[in-house]
Structure 1
Amino acid sequence: MKQRKQAASKCIAGAGALVIALSGCAGAGSLGASDQTVTIAMVSNSQMQDARQLSARFAAENPDIDLRFVTLSENEARAKITASTAMGGGEFDVVMISNYETPQWAEHGWLTNLSELARETEGYDEDDFIPSLRDSLSYEGDMFSVPFYGESSFLMYRQDLFDEEGIELSDPPTWTEVAAAAEQLDRPGMPGICLRGKPGWGELLAPLNTVINTFGGRWFDEDWNPQLTSPEVERAVQFYVDLVREHGQPGAATSGFSECATQLAQGRVAMWYDSTSAVSTLENPASSNVVGQIGYAAAPVEVKEDAGWLYSWALGIPATSDNKEAAWRFVSWMTSKEYLRLVGEELGWDRVPPGSRISTYEMPEYAEASAAYGPLTLDSIENATPLQPTVDPVPYTGVQFLAIPEFQDLGTRVSQQISAAIAGQKSVTEALEQAQLYAEAVGASYREEQQ
């Protein structure tokens, strides 16, 4: 407990400068708003854009509540939401966070207990959430954020190109097979694979951590000694960097989720390993030229099986919100069974936020629309191993992140080093040597706590 409180203090101290930046963000604050204005900070992903589009339906049913949306890029959202919530700034009534932040912030008293509100809301059915996600968003048995959508990771590929080349993958595929397929498919104007290279603990490190895990690597040993220069980690990172440099997309060092989604959706790349939530872009005729041409396979493995990550973009209510009742009315609407059906009926069943509720996969319309990817998505989420993410034992949990407060800063710093290697600015060995120094500072503080 002392360890986490110290980490929280560091987080609060480091967030001060960002709160100043927040105060100048036009439309982001709640100063001058009525008691029934709910300010929502959200990531500008496609599912959230759909929610904003459909929010007129909520407004019509709740005329006493005004909604104010603040949409941010993924890295910017993480920084600003963390700063505001940690400092108790009160800028936002609803924040989009994940299963990384939720348990930690709940322990520090920064979030409202949503299970208490859910139990008072008729028909909300908290037990309908997929258990692995529900548990990951809980603290001491109660949920402190509720999932808007949940995700694991899988390989997406052009089935038509695979058929032309006679390529078949194992189930699950190995990274060795994926690299061979990327080389075979690579041609002018059509890179073999798209992989994230954009710095950020939630950008580049999300897919890369799963590669490190399945190659037998780990960030720390059981005694918090950093392992980023171990042979297993160096092999995994070298493999990832070589793959994206030799057969990946142009500008890989600045490519994140959105950029790779565009590349595959526009038919400019043959494969992509990333979030299962990408189907909302790939299978939507309005945003994709490859609808019906994509095949899906479980997250590639090497040594460790079940390599897929576990993540949820979820909605929480900061403890500092002055509009908790109105905020919950919006949150419970946006994460309800009824909302999921509304998306399907109004926007198309391919755009239903996946991976949050069990009942979603029981809807006949959704089951038909998601036949190619729905069962695999659900299976990947249910089989993710955040409590045992690595081959060898570790003192942390989390697949694509380490569930410790320091990881936001540590992960971002390490990702910058590896992104530089992808850009050709330094070698993988040089990047990992610097990353090891960053990790040593974090590991030392934990070792001191154990003494």
Structure 2
Amino acid sequence: MTGSIIWQPTRRRFLAGSAALGGLGLAGIRPAFAEVNWKKFAGSKIEVNLVKSPRGDTLQQYEKEFEELTGIKVSSEQVPEQQQRQKAVIELTSGKPSFDVVHLSYHVQKRQFEKAKWLADLSGFMKDSTLTDPSLVESDFAEAGLTFAKDAHGTMRSLPFSVDYWIIYWNKDLFAKKGLAYPKTFDEMVAAAEALTDPKTNTYGFVARGQKNANTPVWTSFLLGYGSDSVGPDGKLLTDTPEAIEAAKLYQRLMTKAAPPGVAGFNWAECQSAFLQGKIGMWLDGIGFAPPLEDPDKSRVVGKVGYGVMPRGPKVQASGTFGDGIGVPEASQNKGAAYLYCQWAISKQMGARLLQAGAGVPFRNSVLNDPAIRQGVKMPGAWVDAIAGSAPISRLALPVIVPVTEFRDIMGVALTNMLSGADPAAELHRATEEFRPVLARSEAL
């Protein structure tokens, strides 16, 4: 891996910023840490609950460095995603969680955690100059990250950790053969997809998730371009509005006229596999699925992949966004020490490590826009450009509700039915009426 980090950490080096990081010039990241009283909670012990993932691996890899910096003893555990969510809910509900730091999936858990008031207010810590690096300011986070992290009253209840923007992966060779440019609008995207499609050569212009549940974010990402969310800020369902219907028609057209056979059974893995073969013009999905495309052992499109920001819809340009965060339980008895861990986890230095390793995309603009950090990223520059371009137009792709899984299930069935020719308006109306009582019950709890 180019730009791998070679560094034997000591507190002196961490504070002084004098050590080299694989020749990448990241020393500028660290000096401001000297302003923080990292030893304030020395002698404390904290438990950290992490989702098993490359992000969790990265945090654990450098855990000793945090301990040396702060004098805080860390005991961390990585748990597979579904089990981790269950464990977190059970322990937080008990009022006596075993952990002081919790890794949460915003697009699934945000509303649940807020309603239950499980997370501590981090605003006071962030305003304390003895505990917070001056570079850690709200304006450094992508808008979607702040939306995720703040509750309905604008209070920071967690720190945005890693983001997944939805982009368009496109095959530059296929586009060049047809004399096509990367689409700037939804209309141009449809035109390009249909122009690239040639069943005789097994070439198709577009692919995205067609499998029920998995397909819902594709439709909601389109819906953002029509200037609408799926659920309004007042909790009103917007899933059968004219905008929602038009977004569904777009989904139906692309997936029936420009996608490969069997797409109704595709999740991200099948989409990725199809794109890797070099016969797909465009693939809409999360930016985190990119590394295999540049792996010559897995891909036939190495060096041929373009990474494009989501084209503009009829009303706005928006990148559907998912993400995770890291927070401190209100019930924790070690909030200060836990906050220092959270701040360290989303620091510019750790963000650089995530990005360079391909383990995650930080929410912090200062990481994405730092030339020294970008030099160490093993992915093409266009990939980082797509990240940086998506951040200013990032919008939450799924509604902030407790029954988000049921939402995806019910709307996903409607979308799958459309791939068999069902009427989008009728399907969305049926699904909306089916989901309405589910949402009402969750809000009444």
The counterpart of 2:410, out of the listed 405, 411, 414, is: 414
Distance 1:376 1:180 in 2: 20
Q: For the structure 1 residues 322 and 381, does the alpha-carbon distance in structure 2 shift closer, same or farther, using more than 3 Å as the test?
A: same
The root-mean-square deviation of aligned C-alpha atoms, in Å, is 4.1
Matching of residues 247-326 of structure 1 within 5 Å:
247-249=258-260, 251-265=262-276, 267=278, 269-280=280-291, 282-283=293-294, 290-321=301-332, 324=335
Partner Cα distance (1:135, 1:289) in 2: 38
- Residue 360 (structure 1) shift: 1.3
Unmatched tracts of structure 1, length 5 or more? 1-34, 387-398
CA displacement at 1:147 relative to structure 2: 1.9
Q: Which residue of 1 aligns with 2:105?
A: 97
How far did 1:408 drift? 1.6
Partner of 1:353: 360
User: Which has the larger Rg?
Assistant: 2
The letter of the residue matching 2:437 is: A
SS at structure 2 position matched to 1:193: strand
Counting matched residue pairs gives 387
Structure-2 residue corresponding to 1:244: 255
2:398 corresponds, among 392, 397, 401, to 401
Does residue 157 (structure 1) correspond to residue 170 (structure 2)? The answer is: yes
Distance 1:351 1:284 in 2: 13
Structure 2 unaligned residues grouped into runs of 5+: 1-43
- 1:72 equivalent to 2:103? Answer no
Residue 388 of structure 2 corresponds to which residue in structure 1? 378
3-state SS, counterpart of residue 181 of structure 2: coil
Secondary structure of the corresponding residue to residue 280 of structure 2: coil
**Corresponding residue SS for 2:62:** helix
What is the rounded CA distance, in whole Å, between the counterparts of 1:272 and 1:444 in structure 2?
Answer: 35
SS at match of 2:221: helix
Identity %: 20
More moved, 156-165 vs 302-311: 302-311
1:288: Cα distance to partner?
A: 5.2
Distance in 2 of aligned mates of 1:343 and 1:218: 30
| Partner amino acid, structure 1, of 2:347 | S
Distance 1:359 1:307, change over 3 A: closer
Cα displacement string for residues 354-394 of structure 1 (whole angstroms, at most 9, x for unaligned residues) = 3422221343244455531334422322134x5xxxxxxxx
Matched, 1:211 2:232: no
Describe the superposition over 1:334-361 as per-residue Cα deviations: whole angstroms up to 9, x where unpaired: 32212133346xxxx3626334222213
Q: In the alignment, what sits opposite 1:49? A: 54
Q: Which residue of 2 aligns with 1:126?
A: 136
**Which of 343, 353, 373 is the aligned partner of 1:342?**
353
**Closer, same or farther in 2 for the Cα pair 1:324/1:291, shift >3 Å?**
farther
> CA-to-partner distance for each residue in 1:99-148, whole Å, 9 max, x for gaps?
67447734642112334445454537321732524531123454222122
Tell me if structure 1 keeps the 8 A contact 2:119–2:157: yes
Distance across 2 between alignment mates of 1:270 and 1:340: 32
Contact 1:58/1:333, CA 8 A, preserved across alignment: no
Of 158-167 and 292-301, deviating more is 292-301
Distance 1:324 1:267, change over 3 A: farther
CA 1:260–1:111: 2 relative to 1, 3 Å: farther
Give the conservation status (yes or no) of the 8 Å contact 1:280–1:352. Answer: no
CA separation of 1:209 and 1:351: change in aligned 2, threshold 3 A: same
TM-score (norm 2): 0.70
1:179-217: per-residue Cα shift (whole Å, max 9, x none)?
Answer: 5425524545554322123444xx432221132343466
